Amino acid sequence: MPVAQFPAVLSFEDARRAVEQQASQVRQLKTESVDLLAASGRVLAKSILADRDLPPFPRSTRDGYAVRAADLARVPASLDVIGEIRAGESLENIPKHIGKGQAASIMTGAPVPSGADAVVMVEYTAQQGKGVEIQRSAASGENIVPSGAEAKQGSVLVERGVRLNDAAIALAASAGQSRVQVYKHPQVAVLTTGDEIVTVDTTPGPTQIRNSNSYSLAVQIRNAGGEPVLLPIAPDEPRKLQTLIEEGLKSDLLLMTGGVSMGR
């Protein structure tokens, strides 16, 4: 007597891969421009590029004094303070160059002038009239973020296809993007099949159950960024089922629940 042949049962992982492979071949989703504050959770349709170097200038990471590291070969060292540099200060109002034996008072986030290659924290200094005593040495580059260290002009800050979170939105803002191009929410049709299924507001008969699966799937679709479309329940009748499948295929994706056994 021949042994019956049954279709192979897919593991969850194999089934997921098969669905993802098919989904990647569907028609291209439409895009739309949205306000940056409304973009959380949306999927980016166009990569965001840096419109300038980040940071755009050598940036101090500490309050203290911008110095030449070579002047601190022997400490304590007394230096002439030639100016003060505040965060946001215009370039016209800051010292153009730090020369030998000079320093400039500097705040966190302020641009480091040319000639200076280190910032000594204020905790390691003492004022001396119009000058300053530096009480510890510093390595070149200490407490300074170089220009372009975080991103170069034209480099990708956020890749297309990324789901936008708070960090990605901050990067978009740093590139001057008040609006971003995102994919429209994909429409996902949900079709439940079976004569035993009734709507949730129907009192089921002894052999019937309410259509709870569709509601569970709809919530999961919405949480994943889709727009659920609940179709009428399909009876176990080929022509009516075909009509509802054709209706569901007008959406970007069709999910069917029920009728998954081999059947007759």
What pLDDT score does 263 carry? 55
**How is 144-165 classified by DSSP, letter by letter?**
EE-TTSSB-TT-EEE-TTPBP-
Distance from the Cα of residue 255 to its chain's centroid: 28
The set of residues, in sequence order, having a beta carbon less than 8 Å from that of 94 and lying 6+ positions away, is: 83, 85, 104, 110, 111, 113
Beta strands in 53-117 (DSSP E): 59-60, 64-67, 77-85, 102-106
Percent of residues, the chain, with pLDDT higher than 70:
94
Q: Taking the domains of the chain in order of start, what are their residue ranges?
A: 12-30+184-257, 31-53+149-183, 59-145
Q: Kindly indicate whether the domain formed by 31-53+149-183 is annotated with CATH number 3.90.105.10.
A: yes
pLDDT digits (tens, 9 = 90+) for 178-223: 999 999 999 999 999 999 999 999 999 999 999 999 999 999 999 9
Over residues 230-235, the mean pLDDT reads: 95
Distance from the Cα of residue 132 to its chain's centroid: 44
pTM, to two decimals: 0.72
Over residues 235-243, the mean pLDDT reads: 93
Over residues 28-55, the mean pLDDT reads: 95
Q: Kindly indicate whether the domain formed by 59-145 is annotated with CATH number 2.170.190.11.
A: yes
Establish whether domains 12-30+184-257 and 31-53+149-183 are of one fold.
no
Q: Does residue 186 have a cis peptide bond before it, meaning omega lies within 30 degrees of 0?
A: no
Over residues 253-261, the mean pLDDT reads: 80
Over residues 75-104, the mean pLDDT reads: 93
What pLDDT score does 21 carry? 85
Evaluate if residue 264 carries a pLDDT over 60. no
pLDDT digits (tens, 9 = 90+) for 16-27: 898 888 777 766
AA letter at 212: S
Range with lowest mean pLDDT among 5-9, 63-67, 132-136, 185-189:
5-9
Fold of 12-30+184-257: Molybdenum Cofactor Biosythetic Enzyme; Chain A (3.40.980)
- State the pLDDT confidence band at 5, using cuts at 50, 70 and 90: low
The Cα–Cα gap between 79 and 76 comes to 10
pLDDT digits (tens, 9 = 90+) for 125-164: 999 999 999 999 999 999 999 999 999 999 999 999 999 9
CB 95 within 8 A of CB 113: yes
CB 216 within 8 A of CB 200: no
